[in-house]
Amino acid sequence: MTRRLKLTAQLITLACVAGLLALLVWKLSHQHHAPRVGSVAPAFTLRRLDGPGKVSLASYRGHPVVLNFWASWCNPCKSEAAVLERDWASYHRRGVVFLGVDYHDLASDARRFVSAHALTFPMLQDGSGRVTGRYGIDQVPETYVLNRQGRVVAHLAGPITDSGFAGKFHSALVKAAA
């Protein structure tokens, strides 16, 4: 009886340890890092912020894509908005698609932001941050430039208005549109 009890206790302890180890492995394997330049950008489908329906990244395959992650509570995003709108106006004629991804934000505030800055490129909503997390974003604004094959051409972790990023952004756009 004592032996059986001891064996059961050992089995339960082993099962608990195995469960905890499995959780640790699962957590480690599900940690997301920013996709590297040259790798395929993580696929996603998100709700539109500026209208009904959903938009998937895959539907823009064949077009260069600028993915801009922002939020209405983010101050640098305000100064960046006008520059993005201006660039969108000049590059969309060349087939470049701009997508704004609103991150951890109230949809009502985000819509007000879009309206206040007269942004006309498509806006998507990632309230939970699920998609943003897969892009390794932990601050906004951040911008990815993808080529026609959906591969990352550039990752700019900061406002594209920054002196260091402005030139990099435009050369990435030219490279992606080529």
Partner 1 sequence: MILRFAAVVATALVLAGPAAACTHPRTSLAYLEGQVMCPTCHTTLDQSDSAAARQIEGFIRQKIAACWTAHRIEAALVANYGQGILAAPSHKGFDLLAWWLPIAGVLAGAVVLAVGVWRWSRRREYEPDEPPDPALDEETERRLDDLLARFD
Binding of residue 122 to partner 1 (CB under 8 A)? no
Task: Give the DSSP H/E element, type plus range, for residue 130.
Answer: helix 130-134
Q: Which stretch binds partner 1 (CB under 8 A): 24-32, 91-99, 102-110, 157-165?
A: 102-110
Site for partner 1 in 136-175 (CB under 8 A): none
Sheet of 152-156: strands edge to edge? 54-56, 45-48, 123-126, 97-103, 65-70, 142-146, 152-156
Which residues face 152 on adjacent strands? Answer: 146
Stretch that binds partner 1, among 31-39, 87-95, 123-131, 151-159 (CB under 8 A): 123-131
Stretch that binds partner 1, among 32-40, 58-66, 69-77, 93-101 (CB under 8 A): 69-77
Q: What is the DSSP string of 52-112?
A: SSEEEGGGGTTS-EEEEEE-TT-HHHHHHHHHHHHHHHHHGGGT-EEEEEEES--HHHHHH
Binding of partner 1 by 117 (CB under 8 A): no
Least distance CB 31 / partner 1 (angstroms): 14
In the bound state with partner 1, the residue whose beta carbon lies nearer, of 1 and 164, is 1
Name the residues that contact partner 1, by CB under 8 A.
Answer: 5, 9, 12, 71-75, 104-107, 109, 127-130
